[in-house]
Structure 1
Amino acid sequence: MSGIPSNKPYLIRALHQWCTDFGFTPFIAVFVDASVEVPMEFVKNDEIVLNLSLEACHQLEMENDWISFQARFGGIPKKIMVPVSHILAIYARESGQGMSFPFDPSQIRDLQAAGSSDNVLEKPKTARPSLKIVK
């Protein structure tokens, strides 16, 4: 069924809203490569976990292709930009409830090498929001 848009960004937004509505802290786990803008000193094993709570991030935008926001790391404000394709999970920190997503880093690398025609890995010209990972 090609041509049908991915439901992943919608699921991420829904779980973020669920966490927020019930007082949970939404976290996302992200696979990090050159297309992800995060403070690299916090990346371990090509992954980073980000807090997407309204208290932790500012100017949160959760688009279909990108999540972007501003957050402080070690007291220093940073712009965060994550392709939705790189989100491994979104979950509530307090309970671990959420959702993980199938992910194969070799598929991302193959798309990058082939110059993906669907713009999955191209950064938009506007700001993008960040996401949190679920277990």
Structure 2
Amino acid sequence: MVSVTPYLIRAYHQWMEDSDLTAHILVDCSHPAVVVPKQFIQQDKIVLNIASSATESLILADESINFKARFSGQSVDVYIPTHAVLSIYAGENGEGMMFETQQQPVESEHKPGLTLLD
């Protein structure tokens, strides 16, 4: 089944943009695919401003969130797998949504062996 999380992230982001609020996401940086400036990670988490005024080339896709942002004056490419987003909220009032942590399915290298029994 397709996860509802990316749809909710896009909906909340759009609502915040329309309401002149600043969209932030809380990211679990323990996921190995997360690409953010490591010096800003605290306790395996980072808060990122994903408002259109703070990002360049923002893509809120089904599998990931991608954008460029400036950190300490340097442009950085940011990549967040959707399953690593813990919450999205408005910086001004805290309104938003928390997401359950999701484990990515581990694909087995071996298919299960089936035996036909008489």
Range of TM-score over shorter length: 0.7 to 0.9
Unaligned runs of 5+ in 2: 108-118
Distance 1:63 1:10 in 2: 9
Counterpart pick for 2:65 among 64, 67, 73? 67
Deviation at 1:102, TM superposition (A): 1.0
Q: 1:18 maps to which residue?
A: 15
Which residue pairs with 2:113 in the alignment? none
Alignment deviations for residues 48-98 of structure 1 (CA, whole Å, 9 cap, x no partner): 000001110000001000000000000000000000000000000001000
Q: Which residue of 1 aligns with 2:46?
A: 48
> Secondary structure of 1:102's match?
coil
SS in 1 for 2:14: helix
What is the number of residues matched between the two proteins? 106
| TM-score, length-scaled by structure 1 | 0.75
- The runs of at least 4 consecutive aligned structure 1 residues that moved more than 3 Å come to none
The structure in which a higher percent of residues are helix is 1
Return the index of the structure with the highest Cα Rg: 2
| Equivalent residue number for residue 112 of structure 2 | none
Query: CA RMSD of the aligned region, Å?
Result: 1.1
Hey, what does 2:2 align to over in structure 1?
A: 5
1:93-112 maps to which residues of 2 (within 5 A)?
Answer: 93-103=91-101, 107=103, 111=105
TM-score normalized by structure 2? 0.86
Alignment-mate amino acid for residue 17 of structure 2: T
- Tell me what 1:78 maps to: 76
| Corresponding letter in the other structure for 1:73 | F
Higher normalized contact order (CA 8 Å, seq sep 6+, divided by chain length): 1
Please give the secondary structure, in 2, of the residue aligned with 1:16. Answer: helix
CA offset at residue 103 of structure 1?
Answer: 1.4
Q: Which runs of 5+ in 1 are unaligned?
A: 118-135
Q: Deviations over 1:33-60 (max 9, x none)?
A: 3210000000000000000011100000
1:103-128 deviation line (CA, Å, top 9, x unaligned): 16xx45xx5xxxx23xxxxxxxxxxx
Partner SS, residue 67 of structure 2: strand
Residue 55 (structure 2) pairs with residue 57 (structure 1)? yes
Could you tell me the percent identity over the aligned residues?
40
